[in-house]
Every structure is written in C-alpha cells, then in structure tokens.
Amino acid sequence: MAWIREKKMTCTHCGHVNRGRDMQCVSCGNPVDSSEKYESVGGDKSYASRVTDPEMLKQAHAGPNWECEYCKSHERNLNGSCRNCAGKKDRLLYHPEARNPQQYHPAINSQSLIPSQYGWGKMHEDDDIDENVLDSIRNAENLRMYIIIGVIVAVALLAFWIFMPFEVNTTVKGIAWEHAVNLEERHLKHGEDWDGNMPSDAHNTSCSTRQRGTENCNRYDCNPHQVDCNPHSCNCSIKCDDLGNGYESCDNECDTCYDSCTEYDDCYEQCPVYDEWCSFDYHEWDVIGTNVASGKTHEETWPDFKTVGEQRNARYAKYQVDFYSEEKDKTWDYEPDDLEEFRKYNTGAPWLIKVNRAGQVWPQNEL
C-alpha cells in the first residue's frame, strides 16, 4: 500500500528550507517558482513517516502544480487562479519525475497530450508537427481497422457466392445404372483371441488363463529433485515518486524469493494382468463370385446367382444422372439415392435444378 510523504524545497532567494506544503518562502515571502526544486526529506521513509493530515493529502492527490503564465510563480492544481497575481490557470506544468501526470487531470483529453523526450506536455493549436504525428497515428489505426473489416466481409461474401444455391433450367443428358450381386458362401473357420474379442457366434470354445500385459501398482517415491517453494518477500526497499506538488508517493517494493524443497516423482512397480485366451470356431460369409449388370436406359435388371446350400446373394447398386444446361454449356452429375428416385429421370426430359458453385445439386421438378 502506497503512502504520501512531504518533501522540502530550498528558497533560491534567501536559502531558507521550506516544507512541501508551503507555496511561498516562510522566511522571505517569495512565491515558489521554477528555480526551486523539491527534494526528498532524509531519514525515515517508512509508512510511519506518512502524511495523515486530510488537507495535505488533498493537495498531494490533486496533481502537479501549474505555472502562472504571467508571474511564473507556481500554484496548486486545486486552485483555478494564481494567488500571487490572480492569473488564470491555462496550462499543465509537467514534471518528468511524476509517474503519470495525466492521472491527476481526468478532464484533459488523452489526445491533447503528446509524449516528448522531456515528459508530458500540453499541446497547443500552433503545435502543427505534433498534431500531424497524432493524425498519422489515428489514420494508421483506422486503416488497420478498415483492412480487418474488409477481409472479414470479403471472406463472408466469397462463402456466400460459393454456397448460395441458384436455379438452372437443364435437360437430362444421360442416365446410367450399375447393379452388382455378390455370391457369398458361409464357411466354418477356426480362430484364437482374447475372450472379449471373440465373434458373437463363436462356439466350441476352449480358454486358458494367460498374462495379457502389466499395470501400475505399488506406488513409491522416486527421482528426487529440487523445486522452488514457499514464496516470500525479500530484498525490500522503499521507492518514492515525485508528485510535482511538494509531495511524493512511496511504496515498499520487494522481490519474490523462494525456498528450495525436495519433491519426488510418482513411480510404480509393474504387476501382471491376466485374461482368458480362447480358441473357437465361427462362421464367416466369403465372396466366391460377382455378377455385374449396367445400362444407360430404364431397363434395369439384377444379375443373379443360383444358390445352393449355405449360400446367399448380396446386392449393391449405383445410379447417376447427368443434367446439362445449354445456356451455361455445363453438365452436373447427380447420384439418386435409390432405384425409385432414379426412375424419375428420363433422357431428354427438361428439369429445373438448384446448384451451387461448390458442385452440389438439388433436383426440383420436371418441367
């Protein structure tokens, strides 16, 4: 927690040492001006030396003093006019030592302050170069924002352009179908595997216990190594920042130090895992022949096999329709889901379809 300390200032006219709260020399009465510099008071800088008087704390937290444009004396930021000549406050007196002068002037727009090699100063209308610098910064930030927005909009428009469906008048250029029949025969086979992996129709099983692998067991500490632990403050020192008004803000700044502790990794012994290893018989359907029929008209037929004993036929089908647009001179391929849908499409028939530029096709209705 930071605390406020009062500083001192030596009068350049009579040499008297004044307190930070004094805005004129208590010995000769000369007003404080730029020729005097505030200095830290030696001795105890701890929290016990803090300022507790409410009026002094109000002065400290008000911000840096300002310099009268007319008599060049300094005045507190709490006051709107110079107590020496009654001149009005019109500019901020900056202090390079102050941590952040802007925090004491929330009414000042952040765009009215510009950084320089000497500190923070107030920008006037005649500071053309500084205004140009700020304009360049603003323009660069605006340009970056416009570029990001432009990229997002462009990507969105491209995706919309690619996937947006549109209607096309087409003609069925051609159709094609392929029917395949596999002749499968059921065979008795013999196999071996772990109990949980046997086929559902396994029979004539014979199992025995075997080691299938190992698992972690009997944990113990191993691989001792040093790690940082017990964080605590160390190497503490008091740092004070000038507030530009006869006061300074102090804080106790410390490093974080650690103790060294020994930690261990978790290690395990390897214990055997047992399972049932089985031999068994099972049945499997093997393809012993294939017949394929195909065509480009609606004369769909299925090739067939005569089956005997433990045999069966397994059927597979594939259908394709080609839609052609004379206007666009383009063909789209479409695969119907089944024979019933496939029979809707006749070569030469006009069809309205929806497509997108990604190649997807949605037939709508025959025209």
| pLDDT tens sequence for the chain (367 residues) | 899 999 999 999 999 999 999 999 999 999 999 999 999 998 888 889 999 999 999 999 999 999 998 899 999 999 989 988 888 886 544 444 444 444 434 333 433 333 333 333 344 444 445 677 778 888 888 899 999 999 999 999 999 999 999 999 999 999 999 999 999 999 999 999 999 999 999 999 999 999 999 999 999 999 999 999 999 999 999 999 999 999 999 999 999 999 999 999 999 999 999 999 999 999 999 999 999 999 999 999 999 889 999 999 999 999 999 999 999 999 999 999 999 999 999 999 999 999 999 999 999 999 8
pLDDT at site 140: 87
Going from the C-alpha of 335 to that of each of 147, 176, 317, 342, 364, the distances in angstroms are 43, 10, 11, 8, 14
Concatenate the DSSP letters of all residues of 13-57 into one string. TT-PEEETT-SB-TTT-PBPBTT--EE---S--SGGG----HHHH
Cβ(109)–Cβ(122) under 8 Å?
no
Going from the C-alpha of 255 to that of each of 44, 171, 235, 252, the distances in angstroms are 21, 81, 6, 10
Can you tell me which residue has the tokens 């406050």?
Answer: 89
**Which pair of structure tokens corresponds to residue 256?**
């974080």
User: First-to-last CA distance in the chain?
Assistant: 83
Q: What is the DSSP letter of 246?
A: S
Smallest Cα–Cα separation from 65: which of 30, 25, 28, 37?
37
Q: What are phi and psi of 301, to 5 degrees?
A: -135, 160
pLDDT at site 110: 37
Q: What is the DSSP letter of 88?
A: B
Which pairs count as long-range contacts for 294-297, CB under 8 Å and 24+ apart, including other chains? Answer: 294/176, 294/177, 294/178, 294/179, 295/176, 295/177, 296/174, 296/175, 296/176, 296/177, 296/347, 297/175, 297/347
- The one-letter amino acid at 351: W
Is the four-CA dihedral 210, 213, 219, 221 of positive or negative sign?
positive
Q: At a CB cut-off of 8 Å and minimum separation 6, what does 172 contact?
A: 321, 322, 323, 324, 345, 346, 347, 348, 349, 350, 351
pLDDT at site 333: 96
Concatenate the DSSP letters of all residues of 310-342 into one string. SEEEEEEEEEEEEEEETTTTEEEEE--SSHHHH
Instruction: Give the burial string for 329-354 (b: 16+ CB within 10 Å, else e).
Output: eeebebebeeeeebeebeeeeebebe
Q: ∠ CA 38-41-46 to the nearest 5 degrees?
A: 125
Beta bridge mates, 216: 270
Distance CA 131, CA 137 (A): 10
